[in-house]
Amino acid sequence: MEPVESTAAALRELNAKARGRGLVATLEELGTDATKLAWSAAVLGTNITLRLAAELTGLGREDAAHCARLLREARILTGADDALEFVHPLIATAVYQSVPAAARTALHGQAAWAVTRSGRSAAEASRHLLEVHPDDDPEIVDQLRRAAREHLAVGAPEAAYRCLERALAEPPLPETHATVLYELGCAALLTSPNGTVAHLRAALAMDGLEPSTRTDAVCRLAQALVHLGHVSEAVQTIGREAARLEPGPDRMRLQAVHYMWEGIHTGEADALERSRVLREIAQPLTGRDNSERALLILRAFDAMTRGENAELVVELCDRALVNGRLAPGLGWTDTEWSFELLIMLGGSYLFADRLDRAEALFGEALRIYEISGWSGGHLAIAHAFVGYVHRRRGRLVEAEGFLRESLRLADRVGEELPMHWDAACMLIDTLLCRGHLGKAQEIADRYHFGPPYPSILILPDAQSVRGRLLLAQGRTKEAVDELESASHAAAETDRYNTVLAPWQHLLARAVAPRDPRRAAELAADARRQAERFGTDTAIGEALRCAAALETGQRATSLLARAVAYLESSPCAYEHAEARVAYGIAARDAGELTRGLTLARACGADTLAARAREVLREGRGWG
């Protein structure tokens, strides 16, 4: 037809014939066999061959070829016999909907077996099995389980979940029922922690799980509980299971996981004793297997949060790697060890000024999750930590983008989950660096960022970030209360990393006008902690805090030293802050201009505006 107005009426006639009653009437005119062949093709949906369609219809080769020819002439089907398809998806839908319900179910059952016999994958057959009525058939259960494994292998957990849910309805034999529940719980882990908890608890309450599978089920149950914010329950679950096992690999794995969840549990009863035991266990380890590597990572993370020497932290992290890379079986998508262990590894590098290694680790996580099609909580957390590496490097605009995407992904998983706290805390911290106070408060309101806090360690320290937000808003009394609470929490857990939790710096500045002695004590203690940790960032920030409590030449001298340390630090925003403060204190236009350039490059809008304003006012400076 010519694409002109005069042919429009003819197109309408064609459309009427190709859809709904017009299409059904056309099929009836072609005869019963042609209609059944079209039905079979519609049920197959994709990868249609004449041989498969004929097998479902029960037609011989010559009769099937004749019917296919009629369907091509009627512009219902197109393509060669080994690659048939419908002329348009709307036609395929109309044909499928015209098949009587009972006949459609029967055709799906036949299609499942025909697809399997033709050598195609269990995943391809599963779309037909999902449409078949449950019939207590163990073979269908096995097929659906194989299909679920194939779906998981290509990053399609939702499809795997549907297959296993259908397998459960069949139902499975008593000896495999618990295993199907376990597999169903694993498939739900990425997208539905609540579903994981329900299915794994049901599996663990039944007989039939192999010992190693039971251990894995307990570890995954604890992981899902942590994702829901029930850290104490996760720790207790792991502890009970470890107590019932004899010494061996399964018990060692449970003990390592127990230490891991205890390490991020803010309500831990005896943090000092756990740190002591972990230090003794990790001391002789060389990282010869993944259990040892896991314990080295846990020891490194504990040392980092406590503010022990950063060189020790990095050395422990390096011992957990194999030739600088993650060991086989300890990757981001491996299931024996949860990805939180690798978050601890990357976080230890991140706050120990090894941003290059943290960036490589979290960048690898993001790439792998995207390639694998993991779109749940794992991808949200990967975006968050990639974003926070950008924040620490001073790439504030890029950081904001990744962190907002992390929250968007987390919103799809649930509400008020620990992953929301991490991402919201990181984003508020980033927006405060940019000077976007209103946007920071908007995120705080949307995600209820404030007490009561979850019983899980937030990176960076949530109370320090909220205290900083309150100070920026001029709400000094509330800020002091928040930061005093942070000091009590630090005293209970002995966690004194001044980069991870800079509450001492913030509290010192907040109380300085009314209690300069307390402020000086806080600043001096923060400086001791920073020198113990030993990174350029920690020491530079401690010097900048001390300078804020001084005046005149003393303040200028401290800022000059802070700039020297932070210039060697990988944290560009902190360097920009110190450089601007030093330029102002020294009345040095050259230094202030350098600070302005750094602030602009970081995307620190308010800091850059302040530098510009002071430069305009001090045009006669040297």
Render pLDDT for 168-206 as a digit per residue (tens, 0 to 9). Answer: 998 899 999 999 999 999 888 867 888 899 999 999 999
- Please compute the mean of the pLDDT values over residues 296-319 and round it to a whole number: 96
In this predicted model, which residue has the larger pLDDT, 300 or 25? Answer: 300
Residue 227 lies in a domain: no
Question: Which of residues 120, 140, 160 is at a domain's end?
Answer: 120
How confident is residue 314, by pLDDT bands cut at 50, 70 and 90? very high
The pLDDT tens digits of the residues spanning 49-59 come to: 888 888 888 88
Q: What is the pLDDT of residue 440?
A: 98
Residue 75: both structure tokens together: 């512009």
Q: How far apart, in Å, are the Cα atoms of 419 and each of 186, 337, 349, 468?
A: 19, 18, 20, 21
The verdict on residue 464 lying in a domain is: no
- Is the predicted pLDDT of residue 283 greater than 70, yes or no? yes
Which pLDDT score is estimated for 238?
92
SS3 for 215? Answer: helix
**100 occurs within a structural domain:** yes
Quote the tokens at residue 616: 């305009």
Q: How confident is the model at residue 231 (pLDDT cuts 50, 70, 90)?
A: confident
Q: Give the pLDDT score at 9.
A: 66
Domain count, the chain: 3
- Give pLDDT, residue 240: 92
Domain contains 215: no
- Which has more confidence, 268 or 353? 353
Highest-pLDDT range among 18-22, 148-152, 375-379, 496-500: 496-500
| DSSP, res 327 | P
Domain-embedded: residue 321: yes
In sequence order, the 6+-apart residues with CB closer than 8 A to the CB of 1 are 7, 10, 11
Instruction: Give me 323's structure tokens.
Output: 């030739």
Mean residue pLDDT across the chain: 89
What is the biggest distance separating any 2 CA atoms in the chain, rounded to whole angstroms?
100
Among candidates 501, 496, 521, which has minimal Cα distance to 511?
A: 521
Q: What is the mean pLDDT of residues 393-406?
A: 98
Q: Give me the count of residues in the chain.
A: 622
Tell me how far apart the alpha carbons of residues 229 and 577 are, in angstroms, rounded to a whole number.
35
The rounded distance, in Å, linking the Cα atoms of 84 and 213 is 44
Residue 149 lies in a domain: no
Provide the pLDDT for residue 269.
Answer: 64
- How far apart are alpha carbons 364 and 324 in whole angstroms? 13
- Judged against a pLDDT cut of 80, whether residue 346 lies above it is answered with yes
pLDDT of 150 strictly over 90: no
Round to whole Å and give the CA distance between 149 and 153. 6
Of 211, 215, 183, the C-alpha closest to 199 is 183
Query: Over 70: is that where the pLDDT of 270 sits?
Result: yes
Residues contacting residue 157 through CB under 8 Å, at least 6 positions apart: 151, 187, 188, 189, 190, 191, 374, 376
Answer whether residue 400 shows pLDDT above 60.
yes
In terms of DSSP H, where are the helices of 271-376? 271-282, 290-306, 310-319, 339-351, 355-372
β-strand pairing of 85-86 with 77-78: antiparallel
- Say which residue the tokens 């104490």 belong to: 232
Structure-block tokens of residue 436: 């976007």
With beta carbons less than 8 A apart as the criterion, state whether 91 and 72 touch. no
- The residue out of 325, 354, 374 marking a domain boundary is 374
Kindly state whether residue 20 falls inside one of the protein's structural domains: yes
Q: Compute the average pLDDT of residues 492-511.
A: 95
Query: Of the ranges 10-19, 250-259, 525-534, which one carries the lowest mean pLDDT score?
Result: 10-19
Give dist(CA 418, CA 152) in Å, integer.
25
Do the beta carbons of residue 515 and residue 523 sit within 8 Å?
no
The CATH number of whichever domain residue 94 belongs to comes to 1.10.10
pLDDT at residue 267, as a whole number: 67
Locus of tokens 């402020």: 519
CA distance 270 to 268: 6
Q: What percent of the chain has pLDDT over 90?
A: 55
pLDDT in tens, 66-115: 888 888 888 888 888 778 888 888 888 888 888 888 888 888 878 777 77
Return the half-sphere exposure (C-beta side, CA atoms, 13 A cut-off) of residue 476: 8
Lowest mean pLDDT among 263-267, 327-331, 338-342, 542-546: 263-267
Q: Tell me, what amino acid is at 39?
A: W
Position 16 pLDDT exceeds 50: no
The mean per-residue pLDDT over the stretch 417-421 comes to 91
- Given a cut of 70, whether residue 235 has pLDDT beyond it is yes
pLDDT the model gives residue 498: 97
Look at 102-111, 216-225, 478-487, 516-525 and tell me which has the smallest mean pLDDT. Answer: 102-111
If pLDDT is split at 50, 70 and 90, which confidence band does 464 have? very high
Structure-token match 């001391």, residue found? 283
d(CA 444, CA 447): 6
- Tell which of 89, 120, 151 closes a domain: 120
165 belongs to a structural domain: no
Q: Which domain holds residue 62?
A: 1-120
